A and B are shown apart, each in its own frame.
Chain A
Amino acid sequence: MPEPILQIQGLNAHYGDFQALYGVDMEVSEGEVLAVIGSNGAGKTTLMRSITGLLSNGPGQIKYHDKDISRLRADEIAIQGLSMVPEGRQLFPSLSVRENLMIGAQVGRKGPWSLESVYKLFPILEERKDQQSTSLSGGQQQMVAIGRALMANPDLILFDEISLGLAPIIIKDIYDALPGIIGEGMSAIIVEQDISKALSVSSRVYCLQEGRVSLEGTSDTVSREDISRAYFGIE
């Protein structure tokens, strides 16, 4: 049984008076790829923001490598090897492509990922390395966002809606690249609207509905009916 890398227990999240997550429990093992699905507004991005420390959490709610990280700042968590490809890419517009990648390495962690290996994964980025990141196409921007997260040499990488707003052919390219990315013992959480994509790359799946976990299962055995019930809340 592999060790858990991330343990979430009774996680709540709030935006002012509005509660976005209610007692979420979740676990990711080392080397595991987990899918998180759920309709718009279910709380997936909120969950990612809580894990990465962009939202503040109650004590003891999130453990990473058996250490409580619930109260740490986002930069302190990043340095421990947890990185994210955020929803909507969110590249730095004032930085060139190369600088966007370089800043991912700012945490100073050693590992297989470097400018060279990212350029090898996405050769187009080397051709465009001196351009402003915002001048790239959506798919290329997503490659920069992935490369930027990899440059931190994370143990656990979160992908929030990597295919959102991209053409199907680009989505295919990016999913084809995923196995090469998540090899090397890295764990991953993939947030995805496309359920079959999510199931095909993951070993386990969680479904969120209105801030609660409505389903937890193994990706190749979970049934379509269970998913639609968990997804839409139809009884």
Chain B
Amino acid sequence: MDWLNVIVQGTLLGGLYALFAAGLSLIFGVMRLVNISHGDLIVLAAYLGLTVTSATGLHPLLALVLVVPTMGVIGYVLQRGLLNQTLGDDLLPPLLVTFGLSVIIQNGLLEVYTADPQKMDAGTLETASLAVGGLNLGVLPLLTFAVAIVVIWGLQWTFYHTALGRAFRAVSDNQDIAQLMGLNRRHIFGVAMALALGVTAIAGVLLGIRTSFDPSIGGGRLIFGFEAVIIGGLGNLWGTLAGGVILGVAQTVGAKVDPGWQILSGHLAFLFILAIRPNGLFPRISA
């Protein structure tokens, strides 16, 4: 029962990691951009959530109504104003620029919010739990996992059943020919980044309810997101969920053996899967 509990908790944690990863995966899939500042954007979203909740007294989940569109707008402006200029045949400029962005966001957050750890108050949601077949499951982790499934399903549906998704795939396939179809790739990329940061907003707020956060933790969230994406296979959103779950389970199992091993065992699972399946478990986009 103990071990079953560990695995279930790890699975639910995987939902949060999948939310960290989904935006990364989307952006890489559409424009081959590896966004080093992704983790810091998650933390930025958590702070935006904090600001909204403390200014308005809204519940953090209701604050999403403001945080998601705000992050979306930031994403579009960031892409049109900065990141589009870095895209080309060379992979290095976007890496360098998003690395710089990461540093800027961290320092900006330090200035505005200081280095003190913060947390969002979600009332009873933080501690509520359900007893299911002898297991005691937190409502927040369950909710996070459910949100991850809905978000990934929604992204997948957008990709394969809407004109926007068709445009994403066309631009990803061949930018020149997509332009000939009347698609302005700079705009499409902006919309993709807006969508990715909308998901990031959800991830950041859920993170900020679950644990305390400070401006320095973005790097760790980026690594978890990356690992989930790579384990699942690049360009496959459901694979990203599987990757998040594997990472989460590896971490909780490691922590069960020795609390100090949580993070390490996640990295080891990642390296192990990379060694046996260099392209991840489910590579390529699947319909």
Residues of A within 8 A of B (CB): 52-54, 73-76, 78-79, 83-84, 86, 90, 92-95, 99, 102-104, 106-108, 148, 152
Select from chain B the residue with minimum beta-carbon distance to A93. Answer: B173
Residues of B close to A152: CB separation below 8 A: 181-182
Q: Which of B268-283 contact A (CB under 8 A)?
A: none
Residue in B166, B179, B181, B184 with the greatest tally of chain A CB atoms within 10 Å: B181
Set B169, B174, B179: member contacting A75, Cβ < 8 A: B179
The answer, yes or no, to whether B167 is at the interface (CB within 8 Å) is: yes
The 8 Å CB contact of A83, one of B163, B169, B178, B180, is B180
Known: A74-B179, A75-B180, A106-B167. 9 other contacts (CB 8 A): A52-B180, A75-B182, A86-B177, A92-B178, A94-B172, A94-B173, A95-B166, A148-B181, A152-B181
Give chain B interface residues in 172-217, CB to chain A under 8 Å. Answer: 172-174, 176-185
Q: Indicate if B73 sits at the interface (CB-CB under 8 A).
A: no
Shortest beta-carbon distance from A96 to chain B in Å: 9
Output the least CB separation between B274 and chain A (Å).
25
A54 and B166 alpha carbons, distance in the complex (Å): 21
Contact of B169 among A84, A92, A104 (CB under 8 A): A92
A186 to B177 Cα, complex, angstroms: 21
Cβ–Cβ contact A92 & B177, under 8 A: yes
> How far does the Cβ of A136 sit from chain B's closest Cβ, in whole Å?
16
Chain A: CB-nearest residue to B29: A94
- Please name all residues of chain B whose beta carbon is closer than 8 Å to the beta carbon of A107 when the two chains form the complex: 181-182
Q: Give 19 CB contacts A-B under 8 Å.
A: A54-B176, A54-B179, A74-B180, A75-B182, A75-B184, A76-B184, A78-B179, A90-B174, A92-B173, A92-B178, A94-B173, A94-B285, A95-B169, A95-B173, A103-B166, A103-B183, A104-B181, A152-B181, A152-B182
- B176 contacts across to A, CB distance below 8 A: 54, 74
Q: Could you tell me how many residues of chain B have their Cβ less than 8 Å away from some Cβ of chain A?
A: 19
Give the distance in Å from the alpha carbon of A5 to the alpha carbon of B285 in the complex: 42
- Give B residues with C-beta under 8 Å from A: 163, 166-167, 169-170, 172-174, 176-185, 285
Closest A residue, CB atoms, query B285: A94
* Chain B residue contacts of A94, Cβ below 8 A: 169-170, 172-173, 285
Q: Given that A94-B169, A95-B169 are known contacts, is A78 also in contact with B177, CB under 8 Å in the complex?
A: no
Docked complex Cα distance between A73 and B160 (Å) = 27
Specify which of A73, A75, A83, A93 lies most central, judged by the most chain B CB atoms within 10 Å of its CB.
A75
User: A92–B180 contact, CB under 8 A?
Assistant: no
Q: A208 CB to closest chain B CB, in angstroms? A: 21
Bound-complex Cα distance A52 to B179 (A): 10
The interface residues of chain B lying within 8 Å CB-to-CB of A103 are 166-167, 170, 178, 181, 183
Tell me which of A54, A73, A74, A107 has the highest count of chain B C-beta atoms within 10 A of its own C-beta: A74
In contact, A86 and B180 (Cβ under 8 angstroms): yes
Q: Which residue of the partner chain A has the closest CB to B185? A: A75
Do the beta carbons of B180 and A102 come within 8 Å of each other? no
Q: Which residue of B lies closest to A107 (CB)?
A: B182
Given the complex of chains A and B, what is the CA–CA distance between A104 and B180 in angstroms? Answer: 9
Query: Which residue of A76, A83, A92 is within 8 Å of B170 (Cβ)?
Result: A92
Least Cβ–Cβ distance between B31 and chain A, in angstroms: 14
Q: Is the CB of B184 within 8 A of A106?
A: no
- A contact residues around B180 at 8 Å (CB): 52, 54, 74-75, 78, 83-84, 86
Q: A92-B173, A93-B173, A94-B172 are in contact. Are A106 and B181 (CB under 8 A)?
A: yes
Minimum distance in angstroms from B183 CB to a CB of chain A = 6
Contact B182 A102 (CB under 8 A): no
**Nearest A residue (CB) for B159:** A94
Q: What is the minimal beta-carbon distance from A162 to any residue of chain B, in angstroms?
A: 16
